[in-house]
Amino acid sequence: MLELKGKKVLVVGLGKSGLAAALFLRRRGAQVTVSDVRSAEALAKEIPALIEAGIMVEAGGHGLLTFRRQDLIVVSPGVPLDTPELVQAKHLGLEIIGELEMAARFLKGHTLAVTGSNGKTTTTTLLGEILSASGMPTLVGGNIGVPVVSLIEQSTDETWSVLEVSSFQLESTEQFHPEIAVILNITPDHLDRHGSFENYAGAKERIFARQTAEDFLVLNADNARAAAAATRSVANGSVHHHRSSRDNCHDS
């Protein structure tokens, strides 16, 4: 678990995840700054809550000195990791993690994570409903609209957190470790962000990078690229799951 009290932490990007991360970090005692390329006018709805919480706001661009002065940098999913200020901060040896990675280090209980080029939201919602109906304490969040960091204070050792996770969230993970990981399908998408199909697929596969032999990976045997991930998994519970219908929901 990260030690945050007194640490200087920069949150880059003030989307829904960035705002939630900044407020969480401040509650945990960090000295928080947020930086966003959008103008102060464009951030008019977010800034008052940040100022009230004692968070410094840098709007209208990223200042290199702002990045250099931090102990930790937390990146929102919508911010590319090749942003010049992040690249330079990495070269300086600063720790850079995403909102999903940070939240996962504090989230209690068990995690079931779902990714894929299509159908993530539908599947995540359905799995959350199934677990909840079975009597398990269940939280649902991630790319589905509720930042993972917002689930932390509700989680317990018995909770199952069902998370929709995108390639944008997964590409910056290091210790993220779902006991059950699901890859629905992998088809070309977001190549402008990832540079190539293999980079995109590699980001998706980070969902099981920290799994062990005790964990489970569920794959779609009808999708060749997703099924191929089985050869790179150490999870004894690796399963090929045949889907009988196509979901037209399209997400990252």
**Residues linked to residue 164 through DSSP beta bridges, in sequence order:** 114, 142
Question: Is-catalytic flag, 223?
Answer: no
**DSSP type of residue 212:** -
Question: Is-catalytic flag, 190?
Answer: yes
**Residues linked to residue 58 through DSSP beta bridges, in sequence order:** 35
- Which residue of the set 118, 143, 185, 220 is catalytic? 143
- Which residue of the set 7, 16, 90, 190 is catalytic? 190
Question: Is-catalytic flag, 240?
Answer: no
- Which residue of the set 120, 177, 194, 204 is catalytic? 120
Q: Are 170 and 127 in contact, with CB atoms under 8 Å apart?
A: no
**Do β-strands 180-183 and 31-36 pair in parallel, antiparallel, or remain unpaired?**
unpaired
Token pair in block for residue 79: 């911010």
Strand, helix or coil for residue 10: strand
Strand, helix or coil for residue 104: helix
Neighbours of 157 (CB within 10 A): 8
Instruction: Please name which of 248, 136, 113, 236 lies closest in space to residue 183, comparing C-alpha atoms.
Output: 113
- Supply φ then ψ for residue 182, to 5 degrees: -125, 125
User: What are the residue numbers of the active site?
Assistant: 120, 143, 190
